[in-house]
């Protein structure tokens, strides 16, 4: 059971928009800690997608955006492409555990 809760899977057709939620608590996201997002293509290492809630590293398309409110965060992907099929993970810090924590991951399927 992960400290941050994500839906196991989401899907969408090419060109559509999808959103992946990440729900935490008052000891992590709700305590003011930033949320970061990674994607992991099959058989590869995770890659940073969004940092500090809504910032994109250089080279990440503006189709990806993040937001945070209260004890939850969300990753939105617009203009879905087949290349977007991957596992997506949110990450934050939990003060009661004194540890960085990840969501359980969400598998995105492009129909």
Partner 1 sequence: EVQLLESGGGLVQPGEFLRLACAASGFTFNNYAISWVRQAPGKGLEWVSVISGSGANTYYADSVKGRVSMSRDHSTNTVYLYINSLRAEDTAVYYCAKNRDHSGNSQNWFDSWGQGTLVTVSS
Residue 80 or 101: the one with the smaller Cβ distance to partner 1 is 101
Q: Which of 19, 21, 30, 34 binds partner 1 (CB under 8 A)?
A: 34
Residue 36 or 68: the one with the smaller Cβ distance to partner 1 is 36
CA distances from residue 95 to 24, 65, 100 in whole angstroms, order as listed: 12, 26, 9
Rounded to a whole number of angstroms, the distance between the first and last alpha carbons of the chain is 28
Q: Smallest gap, in angstroms, from Cβ of residue 97 to partner 1? A: 7
| Among the residue ranges 13-21, 64-72, 76-84, 98-106, the one whose residues contact partner 1 (CB under 8 A) | 98-106
Structure tokens belonging to residue 31:
């305590």
At a CB cut-off of 8 Å and minimum separation 6, what does 86 contact?
39, 40, 41, 42, 107, 108
Q: Which of 11, 26, 95, 111 binds partner 1 (CB under 8 A)?
A: 95
**Adjacent-strand bridge partners of 92:** 101
Binding site for partner 1 (CB under 8 A): 2, 33-34, 36, 38, 44-48, 51-52, 57, 89, 91, 93, 95, 97-105
């Amino acid at each position: 059971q992960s400290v941050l809760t994500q839906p196991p899977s989401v899907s969408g057709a090419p060109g559509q928009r999808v959103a992946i939620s990440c729900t935490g608590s008052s000891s992590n996201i709700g305590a003011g800690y930033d949320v970061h997002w990674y994607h992991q293509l099959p058989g590869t290492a995770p890659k940073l997608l969004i940092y500090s809630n809504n910032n994109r590293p250089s080279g990440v398309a503006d189709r990806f955006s993040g937001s945070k409110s209260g004890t939850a965060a969300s990753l939105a992907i617009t203009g879905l492409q087949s290349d977007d099929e991957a596992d997506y993970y949110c990450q934050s810090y939990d003060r009661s555990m004194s540890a960085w924590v990840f969501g359980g991951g969400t598998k995105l399927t492009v129909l």
